[in-house]
Structures are given as C-alpha cells and as structure tokens.
C-alpha cells in the first residue's frame, strides 16, 4: 500500500499509510478500537475505495488513479470476524463455494478440510459446529481459491481462552505451512506478538511503528507504543549527560538531554527485588501462575507505587511490609521522557 488516504465524510480515517508485506509474511495490524485497522483491510480487499494512493498485490496494481480491480479479481482470501458461513450449505459446500467450476473441486475441498482437521465434518451444517470449528471451515473456504494474500479480521475474538490459544497455534502453523502472505487485524498485543512476523501498530489512521514483535516490545518509538505492547513501570529520575539516576539504579540514555527531571519507562521484568533495605514496602502479592505480581508501596518515601512481576518461587520469599529496593537488570530502559 502506498500513500493511502481515506476519509468518511469530513473524517480522515487513514492518513498517508504505507505498508509492505513480504512473500509468506504474516503482518498484524494492531491498535485501539477505531484506529482504522478494518478499513485498511477493506482497502486491500477492494471493499473500500481510498481517496488516493495505490495498492499492489504480487506485482499487480489493483488500485490507483486509473485501476480499481474488483474484490474477486484481487487474488485475496478474506476471513471475516463473524466467519460468515452460508447457513444453508454443508461444510464441504461452504468450502467449495468459490471453486465449483474447477474439475478437481471435490478433491480440493477434501484436502482443505483435512488440512484444518475438519474432514469428518464435511456433511455437517454450520449451526451444528462449535465456534472454533466454524473458524476452521471459514479458514478453509478463504484458502480455497489459493489466494496470494489472506486477510483475517479479528479471527479469534469471541472464543474462550483455551480455544483461542489452540486456534492461534494451529492457524499460525497452517499459514506458515501454506506460505500465504497474511494480514491479520487484532487489538490484542499478545495475539499480535504470537502471530506476526512484523506488527504494524496503528493510531488515528497512521502506522506508528512497523517492526518485529521484539522491536516493538523492547524498542518502542514512543510511550503509546510502549504501553500498547505491555505493562510499563514509570520511575522518576534525574538526568545528567546521558546518565539517569533513579531509585532502581542508573540508566543510560541514547542521546544527551538537558539536565533535570525525567521519567524512565521500563518493563516490570526488567526490575528485580531482593529483600533488604529500601524505600518501598512489599504490599499484596497476586499469584498468577509461574509469576506473581507484587505491589510495592513507596508513598512513605514520596515515591509512586509500582507493581512488579516476580517469579513465583522468589515471590514467596517476600513478606508483606518488608522494606525492599527494586534494582534494574539492564541499563537501557524502554524510553526516557522529559
Ligand atoms: P475496531 O477494532 O473497533 O473494529 P478499527 O481499528 O478496525 O476498530 P475501523 O473499523 O477501520 O477501525 O474504523 C475506523 C473509523 O472509521 C471509526 O471511527 C469508524 O467509526 C469509522 N468508519 C468505519 N467505517 C465507516 C463507514 N462506512 N462510514 C463512516 N465511518 C466509518
């Protein structure tokens, strides 16, 4: 996508958006509700017409000032949020809907259903299937025409946690096995990190940062990105040259900033606590499995309270009311803001 602009009435919904997906790559469009993720997907699909810009799929211009290819001629597969299976057709008929005219349609459908582990449900009607089974049928249908690009809009929303985790895994391995490029819309950062080769984080119709999950998580370009990708802890500090002094130790800044007060953002796992002296007191411990979230109260020392993620085996050694001092495990914070 090149320089895409799109407005609904007076409201600009996509602002100068550029996006490239490599062959076989999974890109996740991630961002808060209303930032333009679905609209971007619909532009790729040809369901929404941008005001300007161009769209190219596998070397073919499908949209620009003079071209506007119909959705069915764009070599794309679209998996809608609600799966949109035809209720009056069987599973096999749903999957074969777009390829009926092909001589080998029946064997293609069988192969696709086997691939998504739905072979034994070929003659079932959609309403007799669970949400997860419907999702797999919809995926098989989207793949039937061998798309160059697969578009998935919130494919795992509305499923319970266990099924969601299972389907994420199977969809990811299926997409990688087939090697189709895919663009997936999600507002769930963890899901994007799990599924994506690269994440495009969107805000107000723009891509704020495009990169691997680790790049966005560890090297966010701004505070919005840092907070969207995961928990952050704010530490107050004083900067002198490139060194920032905080209660948790010293951090290094990439560039020299004017001396004075700064806020240092770090991930909870980048701080460790050991019992002993310190300005914080241990508060409540929230057991969440392998890790425990530990509240640290700093108000007696005039410090904002923080919550750290501590391996449960270590957290059991911490006692309520005990004084502690968090220590930074690395000298590079996520961000330093003035
Ligand atoms: P969500 O996660 O809530 O689905 P999103 O990031 O996918 O959000 P879009 O659905 O792309 O966002 O919508 C972006 C903005 O455009 C929203 O403010 C939405 O209300 C508006 N919008 C979307 N489609 C239309 C339309 N057909 N007419 C007018 N406004 C629209």
Pairing of strands 149-153, 181-186: parallel
Q: How far is the CA of 159 from the centre of ligand 1 (A)?
A: 22
Give the pLDDT of residue 36: 96
Give the pLDDT of residue 100: 78
Q: How far is the CA of 187 from the centre of ligand 1 (A)?
A: 13
- Report residues whose beta carbon is within 6 angstroms of any ligand 1 atom: 8, 13, 31, 33-39, 187
Q: Whose CA is nearest to atom 25 of ligand 1?
A: 8
Give the pLDDT of residue 167: 85
Q: In this structure, are residues 151 and 99 in contact, taking their beta carbons and an 8 Å threshold?
A: no
Domains of the chain plus CATH, in order, are 2-228 (3.40.50.300), 233-337 (2.40.50.100)
Q: In this structure, are residues 318 and 283 in contact, taking their beta carbons and an 8 Å threshold?
A: no
Distance CA 4, CA 10 (A): 16
Distance CA 90, CA 106 (A): 13
The structure tokens 């961002």 sit at 31
Q: How far is the CA of 50 from the centre of ligand 1 (A)?
A: 14
Q: How far is the CA of 39 from the centre of ligand 1 (A)?
A: 6
Q: Whose CA is nearest to atom 30 of ligand 1?
A: 8
Residues of the chain with pLDDT under 50: none
Per DSSP, the residues of 135-204 read HHHHHHHHHTT--SEEEEESTTTTS-HHHHHHHHHHHHHHHHHHT-EEEEEES-HHHHHHH-SEEEEEET
The structure tokens 């963890």 sit at 190
SS3 315: helix
Give the pLDDT of residue 156: 87
Distance CA 182, CA 77 (A): 9
């Amino acid at each position: 996508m090149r320089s895409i602009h799109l407005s609904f009435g007076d409201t600009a919904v996509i602002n100068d958006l550029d996006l490239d997906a490599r062959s076989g790559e999974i890109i996740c469009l991630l961002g808060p509700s209303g930032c333009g993720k679905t609209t971007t997907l619909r532009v790729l699909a040809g369901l929404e017409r941008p005001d300007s810009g161009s769209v190219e799929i596998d070397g073919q211009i499908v949209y620009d000032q003079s071209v506007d290819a119909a959705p069915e001629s764009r070599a794309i597969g679209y998996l809608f949020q609600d799966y949109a299976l035809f209720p009056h057709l069987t599973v096999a008929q749903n999957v074969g809907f777009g390829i009926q005219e092909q001589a080998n349609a029946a064997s293609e459908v069988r192969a696709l259903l086997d691939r998504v582990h739905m072979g034994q449900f070929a003659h079932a009607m959609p309403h007799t299937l669970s949400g997860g089974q419907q999702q797999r049928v919809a995926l098989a249908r989207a793949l039937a025409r061998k798309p160059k690009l697969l578009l998935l809009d919130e494919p795992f929303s509305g499923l319970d946690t266990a099924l969601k985790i299972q389907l994420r895994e199977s969809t990811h391995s299926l997409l990688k096995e087939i090697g189709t490029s895919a663009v997936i819309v999600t507002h769930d950062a963890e899901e994007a990190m799990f599924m994506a080769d690269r994440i495009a984080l969107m805000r107000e119709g723009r891509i704020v940062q495009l990169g691997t999950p680790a790049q966005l998580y560890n090297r966010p370009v701004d505070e919005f990105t840092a907070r969207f990708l995961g928990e952050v802890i704010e530490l107050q500090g004083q900067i002198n040259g490139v060194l920032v002094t905080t209660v948790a130790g010293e951090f290094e800044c990439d560039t020299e900033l004017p001396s004075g007060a700064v806020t240092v953002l770090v991930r909870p796992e980048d701080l460790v606590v050991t019992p002993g002296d310190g300005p914080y007191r241990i508060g409540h411990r929230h057991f969440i499995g392998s890790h425990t979230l530990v509240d640290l109260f700093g108000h007696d020392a005039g410090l904002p309270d923080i919550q750290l993620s501590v391996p449960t085996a270590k957290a059991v050694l911490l006692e309520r009311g005990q004084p502690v001092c968090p220590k930074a495990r690395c000298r590079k914070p996520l961000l330093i803001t003035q």
